[in-house]
Chains A and B, each alone.
Chain A
Amino acid sequence: MDSIHKKTAIVGVAESDLGRVPHKSKYQLSAEASRAALDDAGLSIKDVDGLFTTIITEGGEMSSLVMAEYMGIRPRYTDSTSIGGSSFVAYVEHAAAAINAGMCEVALICHGSTNISDRGGRAGPVSTRSSVYGPMQFEEPYGTSTVSSYALAAQRHMHLYGTTSEQLAEIAVATRKWASMNPKALMRSPITIEDVLNSRMVSSPLHVLDCCLVTDAGGAVVLTSMERARDLKKRPVAVLGTGEAHTHRMISQMPDYTETAAKISGKLAFERAGVTHKDIDVAEIYDSFTITVLLTLESLGFCKKGEGGAFVSGQRTAPGGDFPMNTQGGALSYTHPGMFGIFTLIEGVRQLRGECGPRQVKDAELALCNGTGGVLSSTGTVILGRT
């Protein structure tokens, strides 16, 4: 066993208000989620001595400085690693290392975003700037966007492996079924594969129902040592294994369009946890787009490369299927404030605590949470265990 895993626990999780929250700032959403997660743990903000956060920003805000100041704390360990939506999953590894090295005792991971309210309530053009400095000047002048970047990967996967739009749609349909059982999910009405295929094409081959929501949201996760965790309010959830990796920043630089860094981070997490794929009871896989899920399942090794389409067919990931996945309704149907990683952790913990009501996966003992950030650029994988 290595030096940091199995010795750290997640002891508190919470969301803020979700959906459209125009009257609250992203800072307030992050702070309110933090307060709720600390309450969930039986701790207070005074106990926090390690802060891990990043905010979507136009102006280069120093995220952990901003949030520590906002919440009135002076952490002795600080981390604003910014690798996109996977950052929060990667923070679990960073926090576990810091706690085990004695650098901090109570780690708070938090996020808040007003991604839809900032756009005036609708998902419109992502940029209006007239010139581009830095390496992105080799992409933005060609009209790239987040969805087009993921579409490039989807097209290549279809070409090499015969993956179909119907197979990608299976993921959106199954995820919506889970959302229908989550009162906090934004989109709860059932959809069919035909609905996905007939929805507006955004960037071929991805339709609008292949794409995540755009919402406001905040979330928070609290970690501490397993020793201290045993005295807190709820049964701790153990951090059994973690991994993180990244392969590129710009989609034009992606080494292999059909494989994500989860191949590396997943392997590390499984090795460190000492468990195998068939041991995993529930998977929370960042679903910015349907193709994100398919590439991640292959890269994590749940199926062979090229077989992701067959793997998700027949509503395998839906309620009642043999691979329960994205059980809160995912970024596709529950919420997506631009960076979703923290919500994979929140649901993974709730499943292992048995708190999920009608959507509870029976006897869930092991959960795998995987975040993907940037444009299929970075990943964090965390394997959590019931104690």
Chain B
Amino acid sequence: MADTPHKPVPRPYQDTQAYWDAAREKRLILQRCRDCQKFQFFPRGVCSHCLGSALEWVDSPGRGVVHTFTIAHRAPHPGFANQVPFVIGIIELEEGVRMMTNIVGCDPNSVRIDMPVKVTFEEATPDITLPQFTPA
């Protein structure tokens, strides 16, 4: 296994450091704008609804439903070679934002649109933990 390349991992930057720091503590956090009160995903330095800078981080319970999904049968990167087939999903969180994830801990063929899911965490490397979703 030592020679198996790992999946690509995020390299945190100014906008995203706090998100990945929280993920390493197994917390999902989202940005909300204090000016327009809207949530956004992915994290940015400004609000994508009103372009304001008054963003705050809010803990999310990590609940939502599957908005759409696909079962990938081909590895897009050598790091996924021993994971196919795997499920890529778009989750609509209770907060109203959507994010990409894998849907794990279930038979890929059991995944359905509108299925309730909850967040779980996968330690990809010692530094990076990925939020993932599993049937609720």
Interface residues, chain A, CB within 8 Å of chain B? 125-135, 137-145, 147-148, 151-156, 159, 200-206, 250-253, 257
Tell me whether A148 and B8 are in contact (CB under 8 A): no
Interface size class of B (residues with CB under 8 A): 35 or more
How many Å lie between the Cα of A132 and that of B98 in the bound state? 20
6 inter-chain pairs at a CB distance below 8 angstroms, sorted by A residue, are A137-B16, A138-B10, A141-B8, A141-B9, A200-B73, A202-B74
Tell me whether B73 and A143 are in contact (CB under 8 A): no
| Interface majority SS (helix, strand, loop, mixed), chain A | mixed
Tell me whether A137 and B11 are in contact (CB under 8 A): yes
**Which residues of chain B from 57 to 114 have any CB-CB distance to chain A below 8 Å in the complex?**
67-80, 83, 86, 88, 90, 98-102, 113
Q: Give B114 Cβ to nearest chain A Cβ, in Å.
A: 8
Q: Give A147 Cβ to nearest chain B Cβ, in Å.
A: 8
How many Å lie between the Cα of A132 and that of B101 in the bound state? 15
Task: List the B residue with the shortest CB-CB distance to A147.
Answer: B74
Given A126-B77, A127-B77, A156-B113, CB of A132 within 8 Å of CB of B72: no
Tell me whether B70 and A125 are in contact (CB under 8 A): no
Q: For A138, what are the chain B residues with a Cβ–Cβ distance below 8 Å?
A: 10, 41-42, 99-100
Tell me whether A145 and B68 are in contact (CB under 8 A): no
Q: For B13, what are the chain A residues with a Cβ–Cβ distance below 8 Å?
A: 133-134
Tell me whether B99 and A203 are in contact (CB under 8 A): no
- B18 touches A (CB below 8 Å): no
How many Å lie between the Cα of A104 and that of B11 in the bound state? 43
A125, A139, A205: the one contacting B75 at CB < 8 Å is: A125
Tell me whether B70 and A148 are in contact (CB under 8 A): yes
Given A144-B76, A145-B76, A155-B113, CB of A203 within 8 Å of CB of B10: no
Tell me whether A128 and B77 are in contact (CB under 8 A): yes
- B52 touches A (CB below 8 Å): no
Q: For B49, what are the chain A residues with a Cβ–Cβ distance below 8 Å?
A: none
